[in-house]
Amino acid sequence: MGIPANIQLLYTPVQPSIRNADDNVLYREYAPHAQLTNIVYCYWQLKTTQPLNSEFIYRVVADGCIDVYFEPGNPPENYVMGFSSKYTEFSLGNSFHYVGIRFLPTMFPQLFRINAAELSNRYEALNAVVPGMSRFIQEHLHDQLAISDMVRMLDGWLLQLAGMVDFNADNRLYEAMDIILKKAGMVHLEHDIDTGISPRQLRRLFEYYIGDTPKTFSKIVRFQQILRAKPSVQSLRQNKLFFDAGYHDQAHFIKEFRHLYGITPTRAFDRE
């Protein structure tokens, strides 16, 4: 396929675990076909196992990815959520079922020749962005199928599509991403990233293929590294994690974390 394989080796985007007082909300991730692992991070399912006593607010934290999602009970309702530079909250009511596809950074624009910046910090009807994929979901996926069957069918559609796409494996973009990912987002953009093009040109590549600037992407990679580490509340207070992660001080760390997650680090990791 001609696509860089190191993104999926270096980057594991994390979303918060679901906690619900009634334990009636299920969130699960499913691996894609082996030949899609450098394109799709995962398929996911979010559903209630029975109606909840109150409205459910679902928080999506910044992860650098683009997602397609739909309701199997109403497949014409399918959407794409672009790169988000902050957390997003959705009010889902007290009964819901969603299935989604989480594309690794740069892969949605590679597959569909879409400028990622046009989708950033918003969601759009998939039919207005990728009508062919929207039509496939409407015509083939529904709530009578098991999730394993939906995954298999999405695998097949994406494998066929990927086989026809001429991927632009621009070394300048992917070398810069490689540096950011290997340094866990703790980079000095002017000194650490030298891929043979100007900062302005690099910014254009990032905005088209990722949806935002190298600086914003680096912030999210650093934030995601902290989520994967799952520090305890005690270690947050005692070990000065914010210094190790490249933040200037605790106030800077808390402010940026809240912007990307929606709550303070102490509250977030107390929930894990």
Residue in this structure with the two tokens 């590294």, named with its chain if needed = 225
8 Å CB contact between 212 and 121: no
Q: What is the pLDDT of residue 2?
A: 53
Higher pLDDT, 271 or 44: 44
Q: What is the pLDDT of residue 18?
A: 77
Mean pLDDT value across residues 162-167? 92
The CATH H-level superfamily of 171-270 is Homeodomain-like (1.10.10.60)
Q: What is the pLDDT of residue 1?
A: 46
Structure tokens at 114: 């879409």
Summarize pLDDT for 16-34 with one digit per residue, the tens. 877 655 579 999 999 999 9
% of residues, the chain, pLDDT over 70: 92
- Where residue 97 falls (left for φ over 0; alpha for ψ -120 to 50; beta otherwise) is beta
How does 160-187 read in b/e, with b if 16+ C-beta sit within 10 Å?
Answer: ebbeeeebbebeebbbbbbbbbebbbeb
Summarize pLDDT for 105-117 with one digit per residue, the tens. 999 999 999 999 9
How sure is the predictor about 60, in pLDDT bands with cuts at 50, 70 and 90? very high
Mean pLDDT value across residues 64-82? 97
% of residues, the chain, pLDDT over 90: 69
Question: What is the rounded distance in angstroms from the CA atom of residue 70 to the CA atom of residue 45?
Answer: 10
8 Å CB contact between 158 and 40: yes
Question: What is the rounded distance in angstroms from the CA atom of residue 192 to the CA atom of residue 184?
Answer: 13
- Domain boundaries defined on the chain: 6-164, 171-270
Lowest mean pLDDT among 156-160, 174-178, 193-197: 193-197
Higher pLDDT, 66 or 268: 66
Q: What is the pLDDT of residue 237?
A: 66
Residues facing residue 191 across a β-bridge:
none
Q: What is the pLDDT of residue 229?
A: 82
Summarize pLDDT for 230-261 with one digit per residue, the tens. 777 666 666 666 677 778 788 888 899 999 99
